[in-house]
Structure 1
Amino acid sequence: MLHKINLENILFLDIETVPEFSSYEEMDEQKQLLWDEKSKYQRKEEFTPEEFYERAGIWSEFGKIICISVGFFSFRNGSRNFRVTSFKGEEEKLLRDFTALLEEYFFQPYHLLCAHNGKEFDFPYIARRMLIHNMRLPSKLNLFGKKPWEVPHLDTMELWKFGDFKHYTSLKLLTHVLGIPSPKEDIDGSMVREVFYKEKDIDRIVEYCERDVVAIAQVILKLRQENLLSDTEITSIE
């Protein structure tokens, strides 16, 4: 079935998130109490709420998106090209720009969104942050009333599970076992908060996010048993 999908109909994406505030102390008292309650199960007695706040970016209620990178295939005159671009900076604006892309170029029923662990993280995170900003959900993220086979999402982690619900595989591990060049050349997810708030280097984060998008596309090619992208076939769009 995967082989029957037109690669040009897939929008590959990855997001980078950080805690909404640079520190626990910046939250108001009510938000601190809500964070204490939300994080209690995971931090147990090992961390205080303040210490655990550095991980707040993984929860859409306490984090925010600072980058959405996307990529798509283009086939022209017998050549293959994979184009990558990013939306970065202020969250509401990047979400509106991302929505505009979906509504102008990836709105048809046959268009699909693809991410690694996207069904558990990227797609719901984007949708929740849009609603927090009082934005209308684009059709590709509005899943209400849709049957499972009508959901326009591909998830490379789900594809690798082959029906095993217990199995979690990181993108880094998956690329390694499939013989795909690792996307983790500079930073990893645990470093994004520090690079954003302390180093204030959003461009470094964008480069990291775009490498993940390329890696996700490479995984799809590998699962289709097609040739991987070469460096000359990848184009970054400003």
Structure 2
Amino acid sequence: MLQKLNLEHILFLDIETVPEQENFNLLEEAKQELWEQKSKYQRKDDYSAEEFYHRAGIWAEFGKIITISVGYFKINGYQRSFRVTSFHGEECNILKEFKILLDTHFSHPTHLLCGHNGKEFDFPYIARRMIIHKIALPEKLNLFGKKPWEISHLDTMELWKFGDYKHYTSLKLMANVLGIPSPKEDIDGSMVKEVYYQENDLERIIKYCELDVITTAQVFLRLRGDNLLEEDEIKRV
């Protein structure tokens, strides 16, 4: 089935998120109380709501998107390239620009979105933040009333599960076991908040996000039995 998909019809993507404020004390009182309630189950009695706030970025209600990186294949005969670009800046503008991309270039029924754990995180997070910003959902993210087979989403982690709903495999682990060269990342997901708020180094985060998009595409190629991308086939635009 994967071999039948047209690579040029797939948009690979990844997002990076942070808490909406740098620290808990900057939240208005009502939002502090809501965060305390929301995080109570996960933090249990080990941490206070304030101490646990560094995790707020993983919830769309308490976080924000600081970059969306995307990648797509261009194939000309026997030549192929993988083009990577990123949206960044104010979150509302990021979402509007991403929506334009989907509406103008990836709106056909044959077009697909692909991420690693995208169905559980990236896709719903983007949709929720769009609604919060009063942005109409693009067709590829508007799942209301759709049947499962009508949803144009691919997820490399789900493909690796082979029906095992309990199995979680990180992108880094999948790349390792599938023999995909490890990208030279100088940060990981746990460091994004610090790099964004304290170091003010968004470019470093964008590079990390783009590397994850490239790795996701490499994993997808391996899952369908294709040759991996060579360095000279990857173009940043």
Shorter-chain-normalised TM-score: which range? over 0.9
Output one character per residue of 1:164-193: Cα deviation in whole Å (capped at 9) or x when no partner. Answer: 000000001110000112236210000000
The Cα shift of 1:78 comes to 2.4
Tell me the residue number matched to 2:101. 101
Mapped to 1, the partners of 2:24 and 2:147 lie a distance apart of 40
Tell me the residue number matched to 1:52. 52
Runs of 4+ residues over 2 Å off in structure 1:
none
Mapped to 2, the partners of 1:184 and 1:137 lie a distance apart of 35
Tell me the residue number matched to 1:162. 162
Q: 1:140 to 1:32 in 2, by over 3 A?
A: same
Mapped to 1, the partners of 2:16 and 2:184 lie a distance apart of 14
Q: Secondary structure at the match of 1:134?
A: coil
Mapped to 1, the partners of 2:180 and 2:47 lie a distance apart of 37
Tell me the residue number matched to 1:30. 30
Tell me the residue number matched to 1:90. 90
Mapped to 1, the partners of 2:36 and 2:127 lie a distance apart of 24
Output one character per residue of 1:119-171: Cα deviation in whole Å (capped at 9) or x when no partner. Answer: 00000000000000011000000001111011000000000000000000000
Tell me the residue number matched to 1:214. 214
Q: Across the two proteins, how many residue pairs are aligned to each other?
A: 237
Output one character per residue of 1:74-127: Cα deviation in whole Å (capped at 9) or x when no partner. Answer: 012421100000001210000000000001100000000000000000000000
Tell me the residue number matched to 2:128. 128
Q: Percent identity?
A: 67
Mapped to 2, the partners of 1:131 and 1:83 lie a distance apart of 28
Q: 1:82 to 1:120 in 2, by over 3 A?
A: same
The one-letter code sitting in structure 1 at the alignment partner of 2:81 is N
Mapped to 2, the partners of 1:221 and 1:16 lie a distance apart of 23
Tell me the residue number matched to 2:19. 19
Say if 1:89 and 1:202, in contact at 8 Å, map to a contact too: no
The two structures, once aligned, show a CA RMSD in angstroms of: 0.7
The one-letter code sitting in structure 2 at the alignment partner of 1:187 is I
Mapped to 2, the partners of 1:55 and 1:185 lie a distance apart of 21
Matched, 1:9 2:35: no
The gaps in structure 2 that reach 5 residues or longer are none
Tell me the residue number matched to 2:178. 178
The one-letter code sitting in structure 2 at the alignment partner of 1:110 is T
The gaps in structure 1 that reach 5 residues or longer are none
